[in-house]
Amino acid sequence: MEEPSALTTKRLEPASRGIPSKESLWFAYSKLPMSTEARWEPDDILKLVFPPQYKRSQYDIALKLLKHLSEREQLTGDELAAWQAQQHIPNSTLRNLVIPRLIAVGLIARERRNPTGQTEKDKRHHMVLKTSKRFGEAFKHIGEQWNAMVETWRVKRKQSIEPMQ
């Protein structure tokens, strides 16, 4: 059997379009939604996850959902459905785009609870949404690690210059 040529292999793979929007944050330090000295609100943080200029409807829905979740400890699937109907939010946008994205970046967490206490094969697992601190913990850790690396580089440069003098 012949190996496919480079041309044939290239045609089978889709062209890269860069980082998928589902996997990225809109982060430019010079264009942050608020000053780094100011206290940020949920809408400021959501602007990094759902840039309003590109994802206005998802941003608006996410903001409403986070506001609703902030007033409660948790939100069950039935409560979510009732709130969604009351707010006239499309199911496809909320459940296929907004909630998975908020979970992926760590702003909310999803738990599955088995009300019957039966085996893993029981498919009646209720969904519960809660606010999560994973987003903040991740960025805090990333920031601390970066600051430590920069400080290490500065110390090493200073030590390498001192012996020469």
Pairing of strands 75-76, 108-113: unpaired
Residue 112 is assigned to a structural domain of this protein: yes
* Structural domains counted in the chain: 1
Give, as one character, the DSSP assignment of residue 31: G
- Helices 56-70 and 42-49, axial angle in degrees (round to 10): 140
For residue 33, what are the domain limits?
23-157
Would residue 43 count as lying in a domain? yes
Residue 151 lies in a domain: yes
Model confidence over 106-156: pLDDT tens digits?
A: 999 998 877 666 666 666 677 899 999 999 999 999 999 999 999 999 999
* Within a domain: 146: yes
The model's pTM is: 0.78
Contacts of 109 (CB under 8 A, 6+ apart): 103, 129, 130, 131, 132, 134
Residue 64, CA distances (Å) to 1, 5, 47, 83, 116 in order: 58, 52, 13, 10, 32
Q: Which residues are CB-neighbours of 27 under 8 A, at least 6 positions away?
A: 48
13-71 confidence digits (pLDDT tens)? 666 677 777 778 888 888 888 888 899 999 999 999 999 999 999 999 999 999 999 99
pLDDT on residue 73: 87
Read off the CATH number of the domain in which 106 is found: 1.10.10
Answer yes or no: is 12 within a domain.
no
Is 80 exceeded by the pLDDT of residue 4?
A: no
